Amino acid sequence: MASAPLPLEAGPIHFGTDGWRGILGVDITMERLLPVAAAAARELAASAPEGLGSREVVIGYDRRFLAPELAEAIAAAVRGADLVPLLAATPVPTPACSWAVVERGALGALVITASHNPPEWLGLKIKGPFGGSVEGDFTARVEQRLAAGGLTVPVPGATERFDAMGTYLAGLGAKVDAAALVAGLAATGLQVIVDPMHGSAAGGLPALLGEAGAAAGVIREIRGERDPLFGGHPPEPLAPYLERLIAEVRQATASGRPAVGIVFDGDGDRIAAVDEQGRFCSTQLLMPLLIDHLARARGLGGRVVKTVSGSDLMALVAADLGREVIEMPVGFKYIAAEMLSGEVLVGGEESGGVGFGLHLPERDALFAALLLIEALVEGGLPLGARLEALQGRCGGASVYDRLDLRLPDMASRRRLEALLAQDPPQEVAGAAVLEVNRTDGVKLRMGPSHWLMLRFSGTEPLLRLYCEAPDADRVRAVLAWARQLAESI
């Protein structure tokens, strides 16, 4: 796969929706990272809730090139801020750091990771004392500290290490009945094939199902070894990067034992799945299933929070169960804010991040995987059949796809933004627009489970096109129409 040319000059230090990321060796260097870590640590201390007396800052890292070394280096920056760094002993999923913060009552966490970005990227995520990502006002204050130029001298020294992965898995294991899951999988003849995409969630799900799961042959893992190049593509749970998983699921099903493929991104906070027929299932399909399972089978309370780019099926399932639905802009930080302010059953976004009211205000792919397996065992059907039954009960059978389109320049972007603001299309690929939603970007609704959303990246001439429609041909037609509109401006 051809990759885009790498930039020769570093961009400004700016936090996006979940952290600061850039090209390793260009944007992310030791000289730039240490002041950012120090400023973040100082802001965690300054913003600590009243009564939180801890001086600890948890430090975690993923499996990327130089991530362990940079994590150890920023421990010195934390000490320079007169705080106590606590370093994960091994690479861990980002949610493990959030779990450790809550369990230990720490100030927060700094995580060296670039999540699902390409192999040449690295970055820093900041987690608050509540166990989730800090909000935009927090990162704005970190940027202000950097701009002010205050000097924090790193303090060398021995850093305490702890078993972050072990404590995290123990916490997840206490929330489910692993023995019942193994027995249920064996009884239904269903097997789980896990693909962590060489990322830091590797080994987690097999460990949670334990020796009994391995002995029963209900779970196995592929691509679990560390590979900082991630097989040559981004560790993002998208169908084009999952050829091996799809092939193995189909082969297992063809041999008489239906399988479900579960895939995690590079730092274990995003999830997707592959059903027994080898069809890719994003959170557009997994979230409705999880809503149904937690509300109906587990009987849990709370609202459903979805982003505006989320499938209509989420709202249909929630309505069938009498649950309120709140629709938010794209970005898990908006969902996390709702989770902190009220009772939430499930909150999630189309790109793979799902959180649960009975857990953390944080995306957690391993916990989502446990609940997905629990839902399949409870329903007694493989994933594809289970989803078809859910769609049959609630309606909303549809197809979803997304296209990221790079525009020629920022001037093209501004012209298209002006058009959408002043004179949005009244018709999309031959279908009349019934509603215009401006919660985030512009969402044009043509009917039930039939919509197109156009949303720009925060800082780049990048247009994201989202579409849900009754069938795949219609999705392709709508995305082609949208692409032609964008390229004609």
Q: What pLDDT does 8 receive?
A: 63
Q: What pLDDT does 458 receive?
A: 67
Over residues 447-461, mean pLDDT: 87
Does residue 236 sit in the same domain as residue 291? Answer: yes
Q: How many CB atoms sit inside 10 A of residue 273's CB?
A: 29
If you ran DSSP here, which 8-state letter would residue 282 be given?
Answer: -
Does residue 269 sit in the same domain as residue 362? Answer: yes
In a domain, 6, yes or no: no
Over residues 214-238, mean pLDDT: 95
HSE at residue 409, side-chain half, CA atoms within 13 A, is 1
Instruction: Report residue 197 as tokens.
Output: 């995409």
Does residue 215 sit in the same domain as residue 304? Answer: yes
Q: What pLDDT does 462 receive?
A: 87
Helix (H) or strand (E) holding 436: strand 435-437
Domain boundaries, position 115: 20-169
Q: What pLDDT does 352 receive?
A: 87
Q: What pLDDT does 489 receive?
A: 81
Q: Which of 115-124, 151-160, 467-476 bottoms out in mean pLDDT, i.e. has the lowest?
A: 151-160
The span from the CA of 348 to the CA of 362, in Å, is 10
Does residue 419 sit in the same domain as residue 317? Answer: no
156 pLDDT tier (thresholds 50, 70, 90) = very high
In a domain, 336, yes or no: yes
Final residue before a domain boundary, out of 169, 186, 214: 169
Helix (H) or strand (E) holding 213: helix 204-215
Question: Within its chain, how far is the Cα of 157 from the centroid?
Answer: 34
Does residue 266 sit in the same domain as residue 325? Answer: yes
CATH of the domain at 390: 3.40.120.10
Final residue before a domain boundary, out of 154, 169, 184: 169
1 pLDDT tier (thresholds 50, 70, 90) = very low
Does residue 421 sit in the same domain as residue 312? Answer: no
Q: Which residue has the higher pLDDT, 15 or 481?
A: 481
Over residues 419-424, mean pLDDT: 93
Q: Is the pLDDT of residue 149 over 90?
A: no
The span from the CA of 138 to the CA of 40, in Å, is 9
pLDDT tens, 38-56? Answer: 999 999 999 999 999 999 9
Does residue 317 sit in the same domain as residue 182? Answer: yes
In a domain, 4, yes or no: no
In a domain, 2, yes or no: no
CATH of the domain at 455: 3.30.310.50
Final residue before a domain boundary, out of 341, 359, 394: 394
Does residue 271 sit in the same domain as residue 192? Answer: yes
Does residue 340 sit in the same domain as residue 444? Answer: no
In a domain, 15, yes or no: no
Pairs from 220-223 (Cβ < 8 Å, separation ≥ 24): 220/191, 220/192, 220/193, 220/194, 221/193, 221/194, 221/195, 221/196, 222/193, 222/194, 222/195, 222/248, 223/195, 223/196, 223/197, 223/198
What is the rounded radius of gyration, in angstroms, for the C-alpha atoms of the chain? 22
Does residue 321 sit in the same domain as residue 230? Answer: yes
Does residue 303 sit in the same domain as residue 421? Answer: no
Q: Is the pLDDT of residue 3 over 70?
A: no
The span from the CA of 345 to the CA of 89, in Å, is 33
In a domain, 12, yes or no: no
Angle made by CA atoms 80, 89, 356, in degrees to the nearest 5:
95
Q: What pLDDT does 351 receive?
A: 84
Q: What pLDDT does 222 receive?
A: 98
Q: How many domains are contained in the chain?
A: 3
Does residue 163 sit in the same domain as residue 181? Answer: no
Q: What pLDDT does 429 receive?
A: 96
In a domain, 14, yes or no: no
2 pLDDT tier (thresholds 50, 70, 90) = very low
Q: Tell me the CA distances in angstroms from 109 to 102, 126, 403, one per residue in order.
A: 10, 6, 33
Q: What pLDDT does 78 receive?
A: 97
pLDDT tens, 333-392? Answer: 899 999 999 999 999 988 889 999 999 999 999 999 999 999 999 999 999 999 999 999
In a domain, 150, yes or no: yes
Sequence-ordered alpha helix ranges (H) in 354-456: 365-379, 383-394, 410-422
Over residues 113-128, mean pLDDT: 96
